[in-house]
Amino acid sequence: MKVISGTLKGRKILGYNIDGTRPTMDRVKESIFALIQDNVKGSMVLDLFSGSGNYGIEAISNYANLVYFNDYNKECCKVIKKNLETFDVLDKGIVLNLDYIKCLDLLKKQNKKFDLVFLDPPYKLDVIDKIMSILEKNKLLNNNSYVIVELVNDNLKEQYNSLVRIKKRVFGEKIIYVYKNMGERDEFE
Q: 10 lies in a domain?
A: no
Q: 102 lies in a domain?
A: yes
Mean pLDDT of the chain: 90
The DSSP bridge partners found for residue 96 are 70
- 70-96 pLDDT per residue, tens: 999 999 999 999 999 999 999 999 999
Structural contact between residues 70 and 46, judged by C-beta atoms closer than 8 angstroms: yes
Amino acid identity, position 178: V
Q: 18 lies in a domain?
A: no
Asked whether the predicted pLDDT for residue 101 surpasses 60, the reply is: yes
Count CA atoms within 13 Å of residue 32 on its CB side: 32
Q: What are phi and psi of 178, to 5 degrees?
A: -120, 120
Of the candidates 182, 55, 35, 30, the residue with the CA atom closest to the CA atom of residue 117: 55
Asked whether the predicted pLDDT for residue 98 surpasses 90, the reply is: yes
Q: 128 lies in a domain?
A: yes
- 137-152 pLDDT per residue, tens: 999 999 999 999 998 8
Q: 33 lies in a domain?
A: yes
Structural contact between residues 176 and 150, judged by C-beta atoms closer than 8 angstroms: yes
Q: Per the structure, how many domains does the chain have?
A: 1
Q: 19 lies in a domain?
A: no
Residue 109, domain extent: 24-181
CA atoms of 105 and 67, how far apart (whole Å): 17
CA atoms of 76 and 97, how far apart (whole Å): 9
Q: 13 lies in a domain?
A: no
Amino acid identity, position 52: S
Asked whether the predicted pLDDT for residue 65 surpasses 50, the reply is: yes
Which of the four pLDDT bands, split at 50, 70 and 90, describes residue 154?
Answer: confident
Alpha-carbon radius of gyration of the chain: 15
CA atoms of 24 and 161, how far apart (whole Å): 28
Q: 189 lies in a domain?
A: no
CATH number of domain containing 76: 3.40.50.150
pTM: 0.92
Higher pLDDT, 19 or 120: 120
Share of the chain above pLDDT 70, in %: 92
